[in-house]
Amino acid sequence: MTASPIVKGFYDPRTFSVQYVVACPATKRCAIVDPVLDFDPKSGATATLSADEILAYIKTERLTVEWILDTHPHADHFSAAQYLKAKTGAPTAIGEKVTRVQALWKDIYNWPDFPADGSQWDKLFAEGEVFQIGEIDTKVLFSPGHTLASITYVVGDAAFVHDTLFMPDGGTARADFPGGSARVLWQSIQEILALPEETRVFTGHDYQPGGREPAWESTVGEQKRSNVHLSRAKTEAEFVALREARDETLSMPKLILAALQVNTRGGRLPEPEDNGTRYLKIPLDRLAGAPWEDAR
């Protein structure tokens, strides 16, 4: 019988992100998945409110943190992995293909001395690798398409898919970021849908279609039956056409140029300069997707 972890989701309405604590009931050992470091782009302020809410839950439930896991370098929020590592002592981890994302953004940011080797994390997981959260086997699936580095963590009967699938009424993730591919995304989705139908699917974002309340848990069976993109696109070719047409209407996420220079560093903010202030570097005219391009 497949183990069933306890899963607690934390919704961040500013970025529409969902963070998770996934725990082994037998041992009370847990992992934190895709934690958010709060950032206000208007003032440039950072805060740890979201991460502190996670820590408060862990304390209340008397859990021990074994891992701090990211599914990929996020484009729409800063990772709180380093803050949580400092608070818990737990190692940070991500998929080994993160080096491909680092190499791409190293060029965009013109960082000649940046080590694009994944050394910013304590552990780089290989495709198919198995590790434990408490007594629960956790398998790593390589799930590219949204990014070059995206992975899925299958923790017992729970799959953390982040930006590969949304809730069934939300469809699938965009595939037009640097290194993205709608064709590859389709293939990643097929591997997730090959999991047992009762597998719980936990998404990394929810944009509340129709104004409904935030939601982030479905099943593989529900995704197969009612995902709004997959019900319209039954073949790879149909999906690629649908996904690429949709992506052509989307602007870039407002935080992408800020977030990637934090998240390719494993959640580290830039070092303070000689006046004690940290600065973000914004490359101009490197990405498509400006608002005036929406009507292409």
What share of the chain in percent tops pLDDT 90? Answer: 92
* Interval 8-35: pLDDT, tens: 999 999 999 999 999 999 999 999 999 9
Say whether pLDDT at 262 is over 80.
yes
* Nearest alpha-carbon partner for 227 in 241, 213, 242: 242
Is residue 64 in some structural domain?
yes
- Number of domains making up the chain: 1
Q: Helix/strand/coil (H, E, C) string of the chain? A: CCCCCEEEEEEECCCCEEEEEEECCCCCEEEEECCEEEEECCCCEEECHHHHHHHHHHHHCCCEEEEEECCCCCCCCEECHHHHHHHHCCCEEEECCHHHHHHHHHHHCCCCCCCCCCCCCCEEECCCCEEEECCEEEEEEECCCCCCCCEEEEECCEEEEECCECCCCCCECCCCCCCCCHHHHHHHHHHHHCCCCCCEEEECECCCHHHCCCCCEEEHHHHHHHCCCCCCCCCHHHHHHHHHHHHCCCCCCCCHHHHHHHHCCCCCCCCCCCCCCCCCCCCCCCCCCCHHHCCC
pLDDT value of residue 296: 45
Is residue 232 in some structural domain?
yes
> How far, in Å, CA of 150 to CA of 139, rounded?
14
Is residue 1 in some structural domain?
no
Give the pLDDT mean for 101-124: 97
Which CATH number do you get for residue 89? 3.60.15.10
Q: By residue range, what is the domain housing residue 252?
A: 6-293
pLDDT value of residue 227: 98
Say whether pLDDT at 291 is over 90.
no
pLDDT value of residue 278: 97
> How far, in Å, CA of 7 to CA of 64, rounded?
14
Say whether pLDDT at 226 is over 60.
yes
Is residue 149 in some structural domain?
yes
Helix axes 182-193, 236-247, angle to 10 degrees: 120
Count the neighbouring beta carbons within 10 Å of the beta carbon of residue 122: 15
What is the identity of the amino acid at 14?
R
pLDDT value of residue 294: 56
* Interval 44-87: pLDDT, tens: 999 999 999 999 999 999 999 999 999 999 999 999 999 999 99
* Interval 187-218: pLDDT, tens: 999 999 999 999 999 999 999 999 999 999 99
Q: What is the b/e burial string over 254-290, where b = at least 16 CB atoms within 10 angstroms of the residue's CB? A: ebbbbbbbbbbbbbbbeeeeeeeeeeeeeeeeeeebe
Give the pLDDT mean for 182-189: 97
